[in-house]
């Protein structure tokens, strides 16, 4: 028998407790022993919860209870759960967490603290999709060339609706908030930060690289306009918030931003609230993983999978995938080193000579135009939508700065990367 304490009995915590009780027979058979949710720890004992379990608000008593075999950390936040998990690991109590923010900031310290004590976190990335498992165990023979993920269901829901139903950003954000898909302050999701946390976890498994959210390029979807949608449709693209980890030489690019991506790519077919992660390994080629990235039961499915693994075999794989550290001399790439195709949206005065001058600014930076659409806006400006051949991010940035200074460019130009 494995007695577990659940720290945090919200949506996911409740699902963990309920599934362990509902699917007890098959979980016991698969794990080899009964897994008993023994106690739940909450802040507010008076709040009504749909679970059949003893509750307490005394977290220290639980951490000091020697009958508890495993801690499930679902508290939210960063520093508070970090302190709690440290205490558990110091007592060699195995820990399972779904806390991506905790891992985005403290995964290497936690790996050191855990040592031979199991510490698992499948649910922290892409909810119910067993992507940690796939990357850490299933693809372990490969050098990872790239990881491309759709790992924020809120953004994907909004972008899918914007493309399929021609609704604009503000309308769909309001709808997502009403449906409970987006928070009152949606910045953490729509700004790309949630997805960035998940990316950093996968990047450690793939490359053994340490980085914090502050170290990487993060752009959100707040500025996607209906013109961008039109351009995408015209040229067989879709628009996704993509998390990208990519090895280029000895540099690792880690970035989160909206992209134009061809509808023919498998990852482009991941729509609505669903998540998908495409991984390219040097030997296996592309594999892709698809499923629900959020939701109580889906996330709990991943939490319980970790608990069953610990029941089966104790410490399984090394926490971040490497039994020994490997001197690969990999460094984090600067965003200036990105080379790709770019999409630009410019609002300009509709008069002769303007296009020639814009083309000239671009060509001075070695940027050549591949495709272009021109549309009038309601103020009689011309909206220029164009994509470039492959060029350097540094050159694009400089060109954008220069374009912004021109008198006939009437608002800040927008740029979206195109992912080949």
Residue 220, SS3?
coil
Residue 69, SS3?
coil
DSSP string, 229-255: HHHHHHTTEEEEEEEEEEEETTEEEEE
Which of 48, 50, 66, 324 binds a copy of itself (CB under 8 A)? It is 324
Element (H, E) at 172: helix 169-179
The answer to the question of residue 326 lying near a copy of itself (CB under 8 A) is yes
Task: Give the residues across from 248 on adjacent strands.
Answer: 251
The residues in 330-349 that bind a copy of itself, with binding defined as CB under 8 A, are: none
The answer to the question of residue 1 lying near a copy of itself (CB under 8 A) is no
Q: Which of 6, 74, 14, 75 is nearest to 36 (CA)?
A: 6
Element (H, E) at 90: helix 79-90
The answer to the question of residue 351 lying near a copy of itself (CB under 8 A) is no
Task: Give the residues across from 373 on adjacent strands.
Answer: 385
Contact 329, 116 (CB under 8 A): no
The answer to the question of residue 284 lying near a copy of itself (CB under 8 A) is yes
Active-site position among 161, 198, 240, 246: 198
The residues in 12-71 that bind a copy of itself, with binding defined as CB under 8 A, are: 15, 19, 23, 25-33
Closest distance to a copy of itself from the beta carbon of 364 (Å): 43
The answer to the question of residue 143 lying near a copy of itself (CB under 8 A) is yes
Question: Could you tell me the CA-to-CA distances from 402 to 17, 358, 364, 395, 416 in Å, in that order?
Answer: 58, 10, 11, 11, 17
Give the whole-angstrom CA distance, residue 333 versus residue 251. 5
**Mask of contacts with a copy of itself, 285-314, x by CB under 8 A?**
xxxxxxxx--x-xx-xxx-xx--xx--xx-
Clarify whether 198 is annotated catalytic: yes
Which of 225, 316, 335, 394 binds a copy of itself (CB under 8 A)? It is 316
Judged by beta carbon, residue 225 or residue 262, the one nearer a copy of itself is 262
Which positions are catalytic? 198
Binding residues for a copy of itself (CB under 8 A): 15, 19, 23, 25-33, 122, 128-130, 133-134, 137-143, 208, 266, 269, 281-292, 295, 297-298, 300-302, 304-305, 308-309, 312-313, 315-318, 321-326, 328
């Amino acid at each position: 028998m494995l007695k577990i304490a659940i720290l945090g009995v919200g949506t996911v915590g409740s699902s963990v407790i309920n599934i362990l009780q509902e699917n007890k027979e098959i979980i016991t058979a698969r794990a080899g022993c009964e897994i008993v949710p023994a106690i739940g720890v909450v802040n507010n004992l008076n709040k009504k919860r749909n679970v059949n379990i003893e509750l307490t608000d005394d977290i220290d008593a639980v951490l000091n209870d020697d009958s508890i075999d495993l801690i499930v950390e679902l508290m939210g936040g960063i520093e508070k759960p970090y302190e709690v998990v440290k205490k558990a690991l110091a007592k060699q109590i195995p820990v399972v967490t779904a806390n991506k923010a905790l891992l985005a900031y403290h995964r290497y310290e936690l790996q050191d603290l855990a040592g031979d004590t199991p510490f698992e976190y499948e649910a922290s990335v892409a909810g119910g999709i067993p992507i940690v498992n796939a990357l850490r165990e299933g693809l372990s023979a490969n050098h990872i060339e790239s990881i491309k993920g759709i790992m924020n269901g809120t953004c994907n829901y909004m972008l899918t609706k914007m493309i399929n139903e021609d609704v604009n950003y503000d309308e769909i954000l309001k709808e997502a908030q009403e449906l409970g898909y987006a928070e009152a302050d949606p910045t953490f999701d729509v700004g790309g930060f949630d997805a960035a946390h998940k990316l950093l976890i996968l990047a450690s498994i793939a490359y053994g690289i340490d980085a914090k959210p502050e170290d990487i390029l993060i752009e959100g979807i707040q500025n996607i306009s209906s013109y961008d949608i039109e351009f995408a449709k015209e040229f067989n693209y879709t628009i996704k918030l993509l998390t990208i980890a990519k090895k280029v030489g000895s540099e690792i690019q880690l970035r989160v931003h909206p992209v134009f991506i061809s509808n023919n790519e498998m990852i482009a077919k991941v729509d609505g609230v669903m998540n998908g992660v495409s991984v390219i390994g040097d030997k296996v080629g592309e594999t892709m993983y698809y499923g629900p990235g959020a939701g109580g039961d889906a996330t709990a499915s991943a939490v319980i999978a970790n608990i069953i693994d610990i029941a089966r075999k104790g410490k399984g794989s090394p926490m971040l995938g490497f039994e020994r550290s490997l001197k690969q001399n990999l460094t984090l790439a600067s965003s200036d080193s990105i080379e790709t195709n770019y999409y630009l949206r410019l609002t300009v005065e509709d008069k002769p000579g303007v296009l020639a001058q814009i083309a000239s600014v671009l060509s001075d930076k070695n940027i050549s135009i591949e495709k272009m659409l021109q549309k009038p806006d309601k103020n009689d400006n011309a909206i220029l939508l164009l994509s470039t051949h492959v060029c350097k991010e540094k050159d694009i940035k400089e060109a954008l700065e220069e374009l912004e200074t021109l008198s006939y460019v009437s608002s800040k130009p927008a740029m979206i990367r195109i992912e080949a």
